[in-house]
């Protein structure tokens, strides 16, 4: 395993972590090769003070966050009152939606689990441009660019974030160190739980830009053991015409298992 450049280490350190070992993981490429796609995977292990990274150039490159932005959107919404609490019900308008699971009422947990776009668009509209801009800057979320409209900027507008920045953001959320109330962070963490085992809890969110000039698939999150984040991760890939939702999870889980995290 080759050591990465000191400049990359400095960049990672700038995300809020203490100086840590940074290791290149070219062997992880075979997981992407098996699906015929190109991608990056960033894994930060806070207890070991170690980053493991596949494709550092892509890890540094910013992409539309798509539905991974629901994490920040929900945090801000809870902080400013655009989401009252985990029990507030967002009512379906009765119109057909592109995903069957979106055709119904939703709460924070179900809206995050089913990645309900219309619900989080409503959250963003309630928050408004001024408050959203302020919080994007306070959270140091990507490039802070809100061009494209208050309910579209993370889907097809100007917002961009890198895999490295995702990891820094998620690490702070996992440890409750974001500059907002513990209540908001606790409720969002709860909405991100996708798996509970005997010894671990997996928190994760997907995001997809299916077409356009720069299609991308994301899977981001962290694994917790004994109440502490064992590893925070961010993966993105450039999907091909036959890439499926399951392909992304198979790649990501395969790497986490190989890394000894799952």
67 is catalytic: yes
- Residue 151, number of CB atoms within 10 A of its CB: 16
d(CA 82, CA 77): 4
Burial, 194: exposed, middle or buried (Cβ in 10 Å; 0-12, 13-18, 19+)? middle
Structure tokens at 78: 């809870």
d(CA 58, CA 64): 13
Give yes or no for a contact between 217 and 208, defined as CB atoms under 8 angstroms apart. yes
Query: Exactly one of 7, 18, 67, 115 is catalytic; which is it?
Result: 67
Would you please indicate which residues are annotated as catalytic (active-site) residues? 67
């Amino acid at each position: 395993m080759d050591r990465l450049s000191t400049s990359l280490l400095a960049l990672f350190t700038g995300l809020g972590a203490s100086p840590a070992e940074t290791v290149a993981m070219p062997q992880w490429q075979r997981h992407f090769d098996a699906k015929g796609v190109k991608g990056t995977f960033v894994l930060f292990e806070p207890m070991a003070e170690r980053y493991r990274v596949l494709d550092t150039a892509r890890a540094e490159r910013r992409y539309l966050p798509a539905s991974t932005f629901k994490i920040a959107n929900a945090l801000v919404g809870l902080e400013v009152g655009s989401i009252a609490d985990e029990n507030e019900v967002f009512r379906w308008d009765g119109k057909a939606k592109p995903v069957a699971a979106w055709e119904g009422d939703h709460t924070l947990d179900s809206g995050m689990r089913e990645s309900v776009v219309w619900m989080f668009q409503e959250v963003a509209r309630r928050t408004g441009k001024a408050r959203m801009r302020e919080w994007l800057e306070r959270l140091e979320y990507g490039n802070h660019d809100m061009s494209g409209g208050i309910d579209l900027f993370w889907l097809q507008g100007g917002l961009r974030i890198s895999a490295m920045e995702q990891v820094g953001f998620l690490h702070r959320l996992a440890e409750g160190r974001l500059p907002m109330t513990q209540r908001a962070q606790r409720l969002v963490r709860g909405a991100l739980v996708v798996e509970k085992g005997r010894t671990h809890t997996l928190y994760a969110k997907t995001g997809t830009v299916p077409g356009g000039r720069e299609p991308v698939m994301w899977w981001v999150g962290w694994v917790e053991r004994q109440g502490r984040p064992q590893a925070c991760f961010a993966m993105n890939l450039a999907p091909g015409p036959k890439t499926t939702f399951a392909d992304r999870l198979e790649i990501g889980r395969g790497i986490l298992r190989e890394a000894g995290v799952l």
